[in-house]
Amino acid sequence: MKISKDIELNKKKLRKKIIDLRDSIPENRRSVYSEIIASKLLKNVKYKESSCILLFYPFGSEVDTRIIINDLLSCNKKIILPKVTDKNIIETYFVNNPLEELEPGYSGIMEPTAQKCNKASIKEADLAIIPGVCFDRNFNRLGYGGGFYDKIIPKLNKNVLKISLCFEIQLIENVPVCAYDMKIDMIITEKNIFINK
């Protein structure tokens, strides 16, 4: 029990440290890095082949996924975005028009408006873009503490590629993990692409 509490405490400290680091990247540089990261994803074969992508809307100093959202819309691909309910349960919806169909939700993150969007099943996604605070080269991720994506990932079809987008500054030596923490398959930064083979 104590080990588990120690890990959670370490995660909390690490979370704050990495978010502060990410926040310190000048906005114009974050924008350039986001474009580089997005362009790498857009060239990915699995991305090109996919027709329905689970994605996240950018919040704070995260990689700007709006570039990807715009590309998906222009290619007539389906976009699934998550929504946290008042019971802290994740629901997923198809989004066709982000400007009209999103509203501030959990922690101020832009989420689908239930009345304006159609419900989606996680099983419909053939590619998943997973957010996180930091990552290591063993493909462990540290999320924001809600455990939402650790619940989403097991519900994906087994062959679905799970990609995380982050700035190089978010890569660390070892992410503290618990038994319920879920790994990802690929990490794309402005400098590198790491693939879990």
Q: Tell the residue number behind the tokens 């990932």, with chain if given.
A: 153
Amino acid identity of residue 46, one-letter, is K
Among 168, 157, 87, residue whose Cα is nearest residue 128? 157
List all residues 6 or more positions away from 72 whose beta carbon is below 8 Å from its beta carbon: 53, 55, 78, 79
Domain count, the chain: 1
Predicted local distance difference test score (pLDDT) of residue 14: 93
CATH number of the domain enclosing 22: 3.40.50.10420
pLDDT by 10s per residue, the chain, length 197: 454 666 677 888 999 999 999 999 999 999 999 999 999 999 999 999 999 999 999 999 999 999 999 999 999 999 999 998 877 788 999 999 999 999 998 888 999 999 999 999 999 999 999 999 999 999 999 999 888 888 899 999 999 999 999 999 999 999 988 777 889 999 999 999 999 98
Domain span at 34: 2-195
Q: Which run of H or E residues covers position 81?
A: strand 78-84
Predicted local distance difference test score (pLDDT) of residue 1: 45
> How far apart are the C-alpha atoms of 134 and 90, rounded to whole Å?
21
Helices (DSSP H) in the chain: which residue ranges?
2-23, 27-43, 45-49, 66-74, 98-101, 148-152
Predicted local distance difference test score (pLDDT) of residue 5: 67
List all residues 6 or more positions away from 194 whose beta carbon is below 8 Å from its beta carbon: 137, 139, 186, 187
